[in-house]
Structure 1
Amino acid sequence: MTFWSRLMADKIAVLCMAVILLFIVAGIFAPMIAPHDPLKMNVLQKYSGISQTYPLGTDQLGRCVLSRLLFGIRTTIFYAMITTFITIAIGTLLGVMAGFFRGKVDEFIMRICDIMLSFPAEVMILAIVGVLGPGLLNVVIANIIAKWAWYTRMIRSVVIQYTDKNYIRFAKVSGCKTSHIMRKHVLPGVSGEVAVFSTLDTGWVILNISALSFLGLGIQAPTPEWGMMLNEAKNVMITHPTQMLAPGFAILIIVASFNFLGDSLQSALNPKIFQKKGRKLNVFTRNKKLISE
Structure 2
Amino acid sequence: MTFWKNLKKDKLAIICMLILFVILLGGILAPIISPNDPIEVNVKNKFMLMSFQYPFGTDQLGRCVFSRLLYGTRATVILSLVAMFFTIMIGTILGILAGFFRGWADELIMRICDIMLSFPSEVMILAIVGALGPGLFNVIIANIIAKWAWYTRMIKSIIIQYTDKNYIKFAKVSGCSTWHIIKKHLIPGAVGEIVVLATLDMGHVILNISALSFLGLGVQAPTPEWGMMLNEAKNIMTMYPMQMLAPGLSILIIVAVFNFLGDSLQEALNPKKNVKIKVVSR
Shared fold, TM over 0.5 = yes
Report the 3-state secondary structure (helix = DSSP H, G, I; strand = E; otherwise coil) of the residue aligned with 2:55: coil
State the Cα distance separating 1:173 from its structure 2 match. Answer: 1.2
Matches within 5 A, 1:191-210: 191-210=191-210
User: How far apart, in 1, do the equivalents of 2:273 and 2:129 lie?
Assistant: 40
2:230 paired with 1:230: yes
Displacement of 1:171: 1.1
Q: How far did 1:189 drift?
A: 1.1
Q: Is 1:89–2:85 an aligned residue pair?
A: no
The 5 Å alignment of 1:95-244 reads: 95-244=95-244
Q: After superposition, give the CA deviation of every residue in 1:248-270 in whole Å (9 maximum; x if it has no partner).
A: 00001111001100000000001
Give CA deviations for 1:106-150 in whole Å, capped at 9, x if unaligned.
Answer: 001100011001100000000000110100000000000010001
Distance in 2 between the 1:46 and 1:59 partners?
6
Match of 1:20 in 2: 20
SS at match of 1:31: helix
Letter in 1 for 2:156: R
Residues in 2 aligned to 1:271 and 1:260: alpha-carbon distance in whole angstroms: 19
TM-score normalised by structure 2 residue count: 0.96
Give 1:36's aligned residue: 36
**Contact 2:80 / 2:205 at 8 angstroms: preserved in 1?**
yes
> 1:35 and 1:126, CA in 2 relative to 1: closer, same or farther beyond 3 A?
same
Cα displacement (A) at 1:166: 1.3
Letter in 1 for 2:3: F
- How far, CA to CA, are the matches of 2:144 and 2:273 in structure 1? 31
CA distance in 1, matches of 2:207, 2:33: 25
Aligned to 1:254: 254
* Alignment CA distance shift 1:184-1:140 (3 Å): same
* Alignment match, 1:62: 62
81-90 or 164-173, which moves further after superposition? Answer: 164-173
Check conservation: 1:214, 1:228, Cα contact below 8 A.
Answer: yes
Aligned residues: 276
Cα offset, 1:273, TM superposition: 5.4
Q: Secondary structure at the match of 1:52?
A: coil
Residue 274 of structure 1 deviates from its aligned partner by: 7.6
Write the letter of the residue equivalent to 2:219: I
Shift in Å at residue 271 of structure 1? 3.4
The change in CA–CA distance for 1:136 and 1:66 in structure 2 (over 3 A counts) is same
**How many percent of aligned residue pairs carry the same amino acid?**
68
Q: Give 4+ residue runs of structure 1 displaced > 3 Å after superposition.
A: none
Structure 1 unaligned blocks of 5 or more: 276-293
Output one character per residue of 1:147-188: Cα deviation in whole Å (capped at 9) or x when no partner. 000110001011111111111111111111000011111101
* TM-superposition CA deviations, 1:222-250 (whole Å, max 9, x none): 10000000000000111100000000000
Q: Distance in 2 between matches of 1:166 and 1:223?
A: 53
Q: For the structure 1 residues 246 and 110, does the alpha-carbon distance in structure 2 shift closer, same or farther, using more than 3 Å as the test? A: same
Query: Contact 2:2 / 2:274 at 8 angstroms: preserved in 1?
Result: no
- Tell me, what secondary structure is at the counterpart of 2:216? coil
Alpha-carbon distance in structure 1 between the residues aligned to 2:86 and 2:41? 36
Distance 1:62 1:97 in 2: 54
> For the residues of structure 2 that align with 1:158 and 1:273, how far apart are their CA atoms?
20
Counterpart amino acid of residue 39 in structure 1: I
| 5+ residue gaps, structure 2 | 276-282
Retained in 1: the 8 A contact 2:226–2:247?
yes
Q: TM-score, with normalisation over the residues of structure 1?
A: 0.92
SS of match in other structure, 2:59: coil
* Residues in 2 aligned to 1:37 and 1:176: alpha-carbon distance in whole angstroms: 57
Counterpart of 2:82 in 1: which secondary structure?
helix
Cα distance in 2 between the residues matched to 1:273 and 1:238: 51
Work out the CA distance in 2 between the residues paired with 1:170 and 1:51: 66
Q: Given that residues 268 and 274 in structure 1 are in contact (C-alpha distance below 8 angstroms), is that contact kept between their aligned partners in structure 2? A: no
For residues 152 and 189 of structure 1, the distance between their equivalents in structure 2, rounded to whole angstroms, comes to 17
